[in-house]
Structure 1
Amino acid sequence: MKLHDLSKFDPSIKLVKNSEWPEEILAICTLDALTSGGMIFIKNAKFLQKLVPVIDQAVTLKVGAVVDEKFFNLVNAELKAELNKLPWIATSTQVPMALTLLSKPFFDQKMKGVNTQVDGRQMGTTDIHPTAHIAQNVFIGENVKIGANVEIQPGAVIHSFSEIGENTKIHSNVTIYAFTKIGRNCRIHSGTVIGSDGFGYTFHQGQHVKIWHMGGVVIHDDVEIGSNSSVDMGTFSPTIIGAGTRIDNLVQIAHNCKIGKGCVICGQCGLAGSVVLEDYVVMGGRAAVGPDSHIGMGSQIAGGAKVNESAIWPPGSKLGGHPAKDLKEWMRGVAYLRTMSLKEK
């Protein structure tokens, strides 16, 4: 896509720097995963502050930005000087909607080669190690790579451009969407879905307009995922599950989550979008973490606890209750309420 094409999707877009930028815009990217020729969206000071530490990388990769028009006009001279280092800048009166509308053409471009009708083995485009064991009634898309000693049981679906590392076992009726990478020695149990669309919409003029997801999923080595769980693909960069993590049945992991190594997530847990769990975090059954929260290394979340949106907890935290707080504080509160309620009888 060329720079002048942006306004075809969002008429409010105005080019304010390098309107004649000749190069193609190759992708929408995020500040934590900048890509060559990419485009980022900045709607407020929070996003601009995140850009400043990576501005040199963004310049090297020729990343441009679409900025909220009102915010752009209010940015102080120091921050605007940093922003102006980017090769091109545009403004929009509706940045969330601009991102939403522009996600569709980039999604279509990325998904051009995804064939869901004809098995890649018939097309001659798969790379399957001769020691892999693939049962009958398995669909494998184009350009799929499957390593040595992989076992795929009946009814599994592996969509295009996915990779499965050696010694991994995919149980019956697992669905793996396109652009998923699974490491070595993993086990994915029946009914689980890896890489389905994230739950992302922009409310505009009385409608929930879909944000098209294309970031994929990366699962590192030695991960086990129970049955009937779901790991959503990232919006523009991948959802990541670290090596050695264990995920129980009926777990929901939303788009753009980053789960560290050695984590344990028990049954019926839910992680909202862009949650970060550092290494060795443990979540008890039916615990939930709100969007954009960050849980430090080695923390423990008690069963049934609910961590609020955008919460930040340091390493070694022990949390319980709703809203989640320090476990001992929560238990003292529960004990106090019980004591007071008994006195009233």
Structure 2
Amino acid sequence: MKLHDLSKFDPSIKLVKNSEWPEEILAISSLDALTSGGMIFIKNAKFLQKLVPVIDQAVTLKVGAVVDEKFFNLVNAELKAELDKLPWIATSNQVPMSLTLLSKPFYDQKMKGVNTQVDGRQMGTTDIHPSAHIAQNVFIGENVKIGANVEIMPGSVILSFTEIGDDTRIFPNVTIYPFTKIGKSCRIHASSVIGSDGFGYTFHQGQHVKIWHMGGVIIHDNVEIGSNSSVDMGTFSPTIIGAGTRIDNFVQVAHNCKIGKGCVLCGHVGLAGSVTLEDYVVLGGKAGVGPDAHIGMGTQIAGAAMVNEGVTVPAGSKLGGHPAKDLREWMKGVAYLRMMSLKETK
């Protein structure tokens, strides 16, 4: 997409700086996974502070930015000098809505080659190792790569541009959306869904307007995912599950989550969007983590506990309750309340 085409999809976009006209924009990018020729969105100081450490990388990759108009006019000289390093800058008076509107043409562009109607084996575009075992009633999209000794059981759907590593087993009725990468020796159990759209909307003029997701999912080696679980694709960069992680039945992993290696997510755990779990985190059954929370390495979170939005949990913590706090402190509080309630009943 050409830079000057942005206003066709979002009239609020105004170009304020451009050193390389016309600029081809290849993708919408995220700050934690910059892509060549991409476009990022800066809503406020929080997002600008995340950009500053990677500004040189952004310049090298020719990444431009859409910045909130009011915020841009208030940015101090030092930070504006950092922004001015980018090859182009545009402003918008409604950045969340700009992101929403511009996500659709980029989604359409990426999904243009995704065939959901004719099996890729029939089209001659798949790369399937001769030792793979694929049951009857399995649909495989175009440009799918399947490694040695992979087993795919009946009723599963493997959509276009998916990659499945050696020795992985896909159990019955699993659905894998496009642009998913699954490592070696993984096990994905019946009726789980990998790569469905993230739950992202912008509320505008009385409607929830869809943010179009296209980031895909990356699952590293030796991961096991139980039945009826869902891993949503990232918005513009992948949702990631680290090597050796174990995910139980009925677990929800939302868009843009980054799960480290060796984590354990018990049944009915729910992760909201953009949650980070460092290595070896354990979440008990029905535990929940709010958007943008960061859980340190080796943390253990008790069943049904709730970590609130944006919280950073230090490595090695043990938490319980809602809002989640130190486990011993929470248990003492529960014991105290029980003791007081028993006194009142006497």
TM-score, with length taken from structure 1: 0.99
Task: Report the CA distance between 1:342 and its aligned residue.
Answer: 1.2
Residues 237-270 of structure 1 deviation map (CA, whole Å, 9 limit, x = unaligned)? 0000000000000000000000000000000110
Q: Is the 8 A contact 1:147 1:167 kept in 2?
A: yes
Q: Is the 8 A contact 2:4 2:22 kept in 1?
A: no
Which whole-Å CA distance do the structure 2 matches of 1:170 and 1:156 have between them?
Answer: 8
Worse overlay, 85-94 or 17-26? 17-26
Q: Is the 8 A contact 2:173 2:192 kept in 1?
A: yes
Which whole-Å CA distance do the structure 2 matches of 1:43 and 1:21 have between them?
Answer: 24
Q: Which residue of 1 aligns with 2:284?
A: 284
Q: Which residue of 2 aligns with 1:217?
A: 217
Residues 66-124 of structure 1 deviation map (CA, whole Å, 9 limit, x = unaligned)? 00000000000000000000000000000000000000000000001100000000000
Following superposition of structure 1 onto structure 2, how do residues 7-156 of structure 1 map, counting pairs within 5 Å? 7-18=7-18, 21-156=21-156
Residues 280-314 of structure 1 deviation map (CA, whole Å, 9 limit, x = unaligned)? 00011010000100000000000010111111001
Which whole-Å CA distance do the structure 1 matches of 2:154 and 2:23 have between them?
Answer: 46
Runs in 1 of length 4+ with deviation above 4 angstroms?
A: none
Amino acid at match of 1:31: L
Amino acid at match of 2:67: V
Worse overlay, 75-84 or 18-27? 18-27
Which whole-Å CA distance do the structure 2 matches of 1:66 and 1:53 have between them?
Answer: 18
Root mean square deviation of aligned Cα: 0.7
Task: Report the CA distance between 1:20 and its aligned residue.
Answer: 6.0
Which whole-Å CA distance do the structure 1 matches of 2:223 and 2:236 have between them?
Answer: 23
Q: Which residue of 2 aligns with 1:256?
A: 256
Which whole-Å CA distance do the structure 2 matches of 1:213 and 1:312 have between them?
Answer: 26
Which whole-Å CA distance do the structure 2 matches of 1:71 and 1:4 have between them?
Answer: 22
Which whole-Å CA distance do the structure 1 matches of 2:20 and 2:210 have between them?
Answer: 30
Task: Report the CA distance between 1:225 and its aligned residue.
Answer: 0.2
Q: Is the 8 A contact 1:287 1:301 kept in 2?
A: yes
Task: Report the CA distance between 1:52 and its aligned residue.
Answer: 0.3
TM-score, with length taken from structure 2: 0.99
Task: Report the CA distance between 1:18 and its aligned residue.
Answer: 1.1
Residue 317 (structure 2) pairs with residue 317 (structure 1) = yes
CA distance 1:328–1:313, change in 2 (3 Å): same
Paired residue secondary structure (2:67): strand
Residue 334 (structure 2) pairs with residue 334 (structure 1) = yes
Q: Which residue of 2 aligns with 1:205?
A: 205
Residues 158-178 of structure 1 deviation map (CA, whole Å, 9 limit, x = unaligned)? 000000000000000000000
5+ unaligned residues in a row in structure 2: which ranges? none
Which whole-Å CA distance do the structure 1 matches of 2:12 and 2:165 have between them?
Answer: 45
Q: Which residue of 2 aligns with 1:180?
A: 180
Task: Report the CA distance between 1:344 and its aligned residue.
Answer: 1.2
Paired residue secondary structure (2:49): helix
Which whole-Å CA distance do the structure 1 matches of 2:265 and 2:318 have between them?
Answer: 15
Amino acid at match of 1:226: G
Residues 153-196 of structure 1 deviation map (CA, whole Å, 9 limit, x = unaligned)? 00000000000000000000000000000000000000000000
Amino acid at match of 1:330: W
Which whole-Å CA distance do the structure 1 matches of 2:321 and 2:311 have between them?
Answer: 14
5+ unaligned residues in a row in structure 1: which ranges? none
Amino acid at match of 2:120: G
Paired residue secondary structure (2:41): strand
Task: Report the CA distance between 1:19 and its aligned residue.
Answer: 7.2
Q: Which residue of 2 aligns with 1:241?
A: 241
Paired residue secondary structure (2:11): coil
Q: Is the 8 A contact 2:19 2:87 kept in 1?
A: no
Q: Is the 8 A contact 2:20 2:87 kept in 1?
A: no
Which whole-Å CA distance do the structure 2 matches of 1:200 and 1:15 have between them?
Answer: 27
Which whole-Å CA distance do the structure 2 matches of 1:21 and 1:292 have between them?
Answer: 36
Amino acid at match of 1:32: D
Which whole-Å CA distance do the structure 2 matches of 1:210 and 1:333 have between them?
Answer: 42
Which whole-Å CA distance do the structure 2 matches of 1:193 and 1:339 have between them?
Answer: 45
Which whole-Å CA distance do the structure 1 matches of 2:116 and 2:87 have between them?
Answer: 38
Q: Is the 8 A contact 1:3 1:19 kept in 2?
A: no
Which whole-Å CA distance do the structure 1 matches of 2:310 and 2:21 have between them?
Answer: 37
Residues 119-164 of structure 1 deviation map (CA, whole Å, 9 limit, x = unaligned)? 0000000000000000000000000000000000000000000000
Q: Is the 8 A contact 2:28 2:39 kept in 1?
A: yes
- Overall identity of the aligned pairs, in %: 87
Which whole-Å CA distance do the structure 2 matches of 1:114 and 1:172 have between them?
Answer: 23
Equivalent pairs counted in the alignment come to 345
Q: Is the 8 A contact 1:131 1:148 kept in 2?
A: yes
